[in-house]
Amino acid sequence: MKILNSVNGNVQCELSKNEILMIKNCLGEICYGIELAEFYTRVGYTREEIDSLVKTFKKIVVDFDIEE
């Protein structure tokens, strides 16, 4: 990963295809593979917030034809 820019709390970065898959898979495991009674308390985000991010990474994988 290469950090390109950081302005007003937003970070622009460059990710390799492998890093995109790694992030997508890890987020998917957190969201779908782990049953936590207090998900928000333990993770700091709702399951829906993480699911939304997983869907974004899945779309990137499809749109840019990244092989899994």
Cα dist from 37 to 22, 40, 43, 44, 47, whole Å: 25, 9, 11, 13, 12
Domain total of the chain: 1
Residues 29-57 have pLDDT tens digits of 988 988 888 889 988 999 999 999 999 99
Please state, rounded to an integer, the average pLDDT across all residues of the chain. 94
- Whether residue 44 is contained in a domain is answered as yes
Which residue has tokens 């937003």?
10
* pLDDT at residue number 26: 95
* pLDDT at residue number 28: 93
- Whether residue 47 is contained in a domain is answered as yes
* pLDDT at residue number 37: 83
* pLDDT at residue number 36: 81
* pLDDT at residue number 13: 97
- Whether residue 4 is contained in a domain is answered as no
Residue range of the domain that includes 52: 16-63
